[in-house]
Structures are given as C-alpha cells and as structure tokens.
Structure 1
Amino acid sequence: MKLMSNERIKKSMLNVRATLGVEGIKMNRRSVVYGTKYLRGQMTSEQAINNITDYILSKYRK
C-alpha cells in the first residue's frame, strides 16, 4: 500500500467517521488509533484485525 500524507489520513478518517455516523455507529479511540497506524504503514491489516479480535474476546472472558 502506498503511504498517505498526514492530511490525507486525516481526511480519510473523517470520511470513515462520517460514513459510520450515518449508520449510527461511533468510532472509538481504539478504532482511530488502529486506522491511523494502518494508513501510515505502521500496522498491517492482519495485525489490526488480530488486535481488534483480541480486544473483543477479552471483554467476554471476564
């Protein structure tokens, strides 16, 4: 994936937030962090999916 500028990342994240907002879904901080890291090339999609899956499963293990 081609790396994106900070401005483009910001616009992309705002677009995602708006799109989800139309559906009544709010982005949490974790989603913003993982999305930004992915778009900066600091995290693969597989790492993001695994981190999100681990987080969700940890909530049910309590």
Structure 2
Amino acid sequence: MNVISSGIGNIYVTATDEISITLSGIGTVYYAGPLKQQIKTGLGNIVEIPNLLPNQDEQ
C-alpha cells in the first residue's frame, strides 16, 4: 500500500501488507502494519499505532 500526504491533515491507515509512506505536508500519518519505506520531507510526523484488525489466526 502506498500512502502519500502532501497537504494539511491526518491520515489513519491499517494494512496487512507492506506500507510505503511519503509525507511532504503538515499533519500526521498514523499507520498499523509492516512498514516498508518512509520518506518525510514536510513538517508532519509518521507514527506507528497498534494494529486494530482482528488476528487472522484467531478466526
């Protein structure tokens, strides 16, 4: 999954596959899942959060 933030605001994303984040704006990208790459050139933040998806092994 590719996430690109170039404006103002926050993004919340949960992925089961790899996440690539590009942040060039103001705001925060909150993510859950395996991070492949992060590129930050703006004033925002990239923050890992707990995975909120149910564990596939428990179903």
TM-score, normalised to structure 2, is 0.24
Larger Cα Rg: Structure 1 or Structure 2? 1
Structure with more helix by fraction: 1
Report the structure, 1 or 2, having the larger strand content: 2
Q: TM-score, normalised by structure 1?
A: 0.23
